[in-house]
């Protein structure tokens, strides 16, 4: 899992899941401004 400061109080998290049905890559944007993490966006894509 990797994370990058995307903007003030926003973090981009990327990770890969390896499963029996195949692999997928995921990205999510987390908002930290509320005092606790809130996911604002998530996308997962199958890897061929």
Q: What is the pLDDT of residues 11-30, one digit of tens each?
A: 999 999 999 999 999 999 99
Give the start-to-end residue ranges of the domains of the chain.
2-47
3-state secondary structure of 14: strand
Identify the pLDDT of residue 6: 81
The DSSP 8-state label assigned to residue 20 in this structure reads T
Q: Which two tokens stand for residue 28?
A: 């999510």
Spell out the residues 6+ positions from residue 27 whose beta carbon is closer than 8 angstroms to its own: 12, 13, 14, 41, 42, 43
Which two structure tokens, joined as six digits, stand for 7?
Answer: 């903007």
Average pLDDT, the chain: 94
Whole-number percent of the chain with pLDDT over 70: 100
**What DSSP designation does 32 have?**
-
Is pTM beyond 0.85 here?
A: no
Res 1 pLDDT > 90: no
The answer to whether 29 and 40 are in contact (CB under 8 A) is yes
Confidence label for 48 from pLDDT (cuts 50, 70 and 90): confident
């Amino acid at each position: 899992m990797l994370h990058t400061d995307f903007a003030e109080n926003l973090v981009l998290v990327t990770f890969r899941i390896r499963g029996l049905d195949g692999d997928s890559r995921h990205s999510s944007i987390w908002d930290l401004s509320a005092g606790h993490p809130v996911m604002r966006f998530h996308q997962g894509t199958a890897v061929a």
